[in-house]
Amino acid sequence: MEIWRVIFLEKVVLMKFSALFFRVLLAATGVLSLGVAADGATQVFLSASETAPRPTEISWQNMAVGGTAGLFIWVIPDVGEVVDGISLSLESTTSGVIEANLDAFPMTASIFNPTFLDGQVRWDLFTVQDPQTLIPPPPPGTPGGVLNEGNLLFRDWNAGAVIPDPPPPGFTPNHGLDAANAADDALWNAATGAFLLSRLEIKALAAGTTDLFLKVGNEGITAGEEIFDLVQFGPGGGLTDGGIAGATDPERDGLINVVRLPGDTNGDERVDIDDLNNVRNNFGSFGLGDTNGDGEVDIDDLNAVRNNFGSFFAANAIAVPEPHTAQLLTTIVALFVFFGWRGASRLLESGK
């Protein structure tokens, strides 16, 4: 019986690798569209929001030096498949601009593992730090996550729905990321079909801009009946082999802009009418104008511009000049144009 079991498993492995090779071939020849994150790949993308992911847009965040913000990772499974194992790394291209912040957020809670109505959870195992510090610790040698290693904000964050072989009597495997039971998953976004996988707390160290790139971790990305699934990182990149550690797509998946002044939306080290226009143009959406890295351009961002209007950075010091009459008039007029007479009047009277 044992020899037949080995032969059977070898055939299954061969078929799975053949399916993966065929998909890679289709992608290389252009038969499988490289710009669509639907059938054919698991999509993994970054978002500044934990409630409103935008899989078709690059995650863009504006932060002030010394500030912190959450960065969220979302996953959309391949059509008809279940993500039962995912291992990721995240690279920042400019060293010293941001770092993963251990102090502000407990690392053991970074990969989410919600409980379903049937009492089961997503993952049997997940590691986001040195695995030997977990309680109870996994077997020695289990890969774990490492923070701030070179340009990698994190390396090898692993989560898996493990099926023991052979399974013990009465064993029921945990869910993984499965569209079939998505309605029971508290971290599933119905509008996009994406599952919230994890959160990374980042800290702004110095002024500058850095691009972010998601990478396949050492354990790879598995889904459905394939050993390793094809992966699309970000909103519109090509297809990446989920079985190659370090594999990524050349298209950036996120952008962090760190500024010295709260309210500086474009990094020109002053808060002026351009920043007010950025907030106005994206109000109620995202992108330029998001001054606090929360993924939305809203009244908080408008107030950040208003409260720092006229400030600029010069000679290693933040200068906040006495407001001139013309400058005050410009700000007030801009606010009235932005909100209309009644809205701007209420905003000015609020003093917020």
Indicate if the pLDDT at residue 4 is higher than 90. no
* Side-chain-side CA neighbours of residue 140 (13 Å): 0
Indicate whether 289 and 301 sit together in one domain: yes
Tell me how far CA of residue 348 lies from CA of 79, 122, 325, 343, in angstroms. 50, 48, 16, 9
Indicate if the pLDDT at residue 164 is higher than 50. yes
Does residue 4 or residue 215 have the better pLDDT? Answer: 215
If one counts every other C-beta atom within 10 angstroms of the C-beta of residue 264, the result is: 27
d(CA 128, CA 81): 25
Summarize the confidence of residues 309-331 as an average pLDDT.
Answer: 60
Domain boundary among 258, 290, 318: 258
Indicate whether 14 and 99 sit together in one domain: no
Summarize the confidence of residues 10-21 as an average pLDDT.
Answer: 36
pLDDT at 45: 97
What's the pTM value of the predicted model, to 2 decimals? 0.74
Provide the pLDDT confidence category of residue 75 given band limits of 50, 70 and 90.
Answer: very high
First to last CA, the chain: 75
Q: In this prediction, what percent of the chain has a pLDDT beyond 90?
A: 30
Does residue 3 or residue 51 have the better pLDDT? Answer: 51
72 alpha-carbon distance from chain centroid? 4
Indicate whether 202 and 64 sit together in one domain: yes
Indicate whether 197 and 278 sit together in one domain: no
Indicate whether 247 and 115 sit together in one domain: yes
Tell me how far CA of residue 232 lies from CA of 35, 82, 247, 328, in angstroms. 9, 15, 11, 48
Indicate whether 128 and 192 sit together in one domain: yes
Q: In this prediction, what percent of the chain has a pLDDT beyond 70?
A: 68
Q: Which of 185-194, 273-282, 289-298 has the lowest mean pLDDT?
A: 289-298
Summarize the confidence of residues 187-198 as an average pLDDT.
Answer: 96
Summarize the confidence of residues 112-124 as an average pLDDT.
Answer: 89
Residue 8's domain spans which residues? Answer: 1-32
Indicate whether 28 and 124 sit together in one domain: no
Residues 6 or more apart from 326 whose CB is under 8 A from it?
Answer: none
Indicate whether 69 and 145 sit together in one domain: yes
Provide the pLDDT confidence category of residue 62 given band limits of 50, 70 and 90.
Answer: confident
Indicate whether 41 and 77 sit together in one domain: yes
Segment 254-284, tens digit of pLDDT: 999 898 888 888 878 889 998 898 898 888 8
Domain boundary among 225, 258, 291: 258
Indicate whether 27 and 61 sit together in one domain: no
Domain boundary among 258, 286, 313: 258
Indicate whether 8 and 67 sit together in one domain: no
CATH number, domain with residue 295: 1.10.1330.10
Query: What total of structural domains would you count in the chain?
Result: 3
d(CA 29, CA 167): 41
Summarize the confidence of residues 133-158 as an average pLDDT.
Answer: 77
Does residue 82 or residue 343 have the better pLDDT? Answer: 82
CATH number, domain with residue 163: 2.60.40.680
Indicate whether 78 and 190 sit together in one domain: yes
